[in-house]
Amino acid sequence: MKKTIITLLSAICLQSTFAQDILTLEKAIELTLEKNYDIKISKNNEEIAKNNKAVLNSGYLPNVTLNAGGNYGIRDNAVTLTDGRVFEIDEINSVGYNASINLNYVLFNGLGRVYNLKKFKEQHHLSELQTKFVIENTLYQVYAQYYIVAQQYQTIKNLKETLKTSSNRLKRATYGFDYGQNSKLEILNAEVDYNNDSINLLNTQVQLDNAKKNLNQLMGVAIDYDFIAETNITFSSNLNLDALQTKAVENNTLLNQAEKNILLNEFDIKIARSKWLPQLNLAGSYNFNNTNNDANSGFNSPLAANFNNIHGPSAQINLTWSLFDGGKTATNIQNAKINVQNRTAELELQTQKIARDVSVAWYKYKNALEIINIQTSNLETNKSNFLRTEEKYKSGQINSINFRQAQLNLLNAENQLNIAKFNAKSIEMNLLFLSGAIL
């Protein structure tokens, strides 16, 4: 068991000595913006919305179509003249072909085309907001996951120091036993504590590897990409609740989307009302039609040859006005108005939720900063206590149980401060995310 642990720990130490990329938070953000799949998909959807608002999808351009066709037939024909004579014409070859180019244009459709184009433009703006939200939300997840990785790195650093102390204690106990200064029990206790510290280090390494994989997935890079995260963090000094609340109302992307949805539903009302107005269409065409019936009958007859050639332009204007459509338009208008009311209520609810979330996060943030101050003081106390306990242990004034307790207290204080710092930073990023300032 001990050999296995030593082998695994050696692998961890060797891994830490190999050259690894130092992944800064700025580099993680850069990779995310470039490679994250959700962001790519959102940007593609935004491009679709941009195409939809273009003039080619506006309905302002005419439709032009080209039609062409041809036919061929063979038939027998018998003709009886007024004097009773009968002429039979066999195998009349009939050849015909036609072509036309047609133009259709809506001159007026009750302003529906105008409002549709405006709606497409606002839908593009909505897609931009949706892309912005995806980016903000993804970056917030990257921040949070990066801090988890950094926290695990700091925890491993603390555990390695603890393991080093336990290793020295085990060596000291072994030497003491060899020279008859302590019992075998002292060695066994030291070995048990060393093994426990080793297991804690191995488990934390697994947690770090998993956290790295989660961050790699968010960044859109290879899952097994290995790196070292920075553990130094700083806090913003210019945050205050009133400014955050104001920014949230103005810049929160969810609220901006809710406002845009109200505008889109207002356009639906105008589009529905346009059905009550007439529609004026213009159509034009140029037609060519040729027919040739040729019979090799061998006599002079008006039926022996028939040639017809028609070509020329034509135009028409058409007015359509639906005087009553069974109430369908009126129903659509009523439903569109209700949708506006729903979207307005959703905006008010979302505004209330954002204000609540900002307030809750703010007080959690202030509390987290206070905890950091307390944990910092607690760590200094435990460091001082451990150093004094270590001196007394080396001089034989206290036993290994008291020394171990001081060692665990120091490790716990280090880990609690580590957790408090990264927890406070995550809350800070949540405040920036809620206020629309994370970018």
pLDDT in tens, 310-328: 889 999 999 999 999 999 9
Q: What CA–CA distances, in Å, run from 299 to 88, 293, 305?
A: 11, 15, 11
**Residue 438 tokens, joined:** 């994370």
Give the start-end residues of each E strand in 17-172.
21-23, 63-80, 86-108
Q: Give the count of alpha carbons within 13 A of 236, CB side only.
A: 17
Q: Could you give phi then psi for residue 277, rounded to 5 degrees?
A: -100, 160
**Residue 86 tokens, joined:** 């009968």
In CATH, the number for domain 64-108+280-320 is 2.20.200
Q: Where are the alpha helices (DSSP H) in 179-296?
A: 184-219, 241-251, 253-273
420, 375 Cβ separation under 8 angstroms: yes
The pLDDT value recorded for residue 20 is 76
Instruction: Give the Cα separation of 287 and 62 in Å (integer).
Output: 18
The pLDDT value recorded for residue 113 is 92
**Residue 8 tokens, joined:** 């695994």
73, 79 Cβ separation under 8 angstroms: no
Helix/strand/coil percent split, the chain, to 5: 65, 20, 15
Q: How many other β-carbons are positioned within 10 Å of the β-carbon of residue 435?
A: 22
Domain ranges of the chain: 2-35+109-278+324-434, 64-108+280-320
- Taking 70 as the pLDDT cut, the residues of the chain under it are 1-19, 76-77, 79, 87, 89-91, 294-306
Residue 359: what residue type?
A: S
CATH 1.20.1600.10 fits 2-35+109-278+324-434, yes or no: yes
Q: How far is CA 436 from the centre of its chain?
A: 16
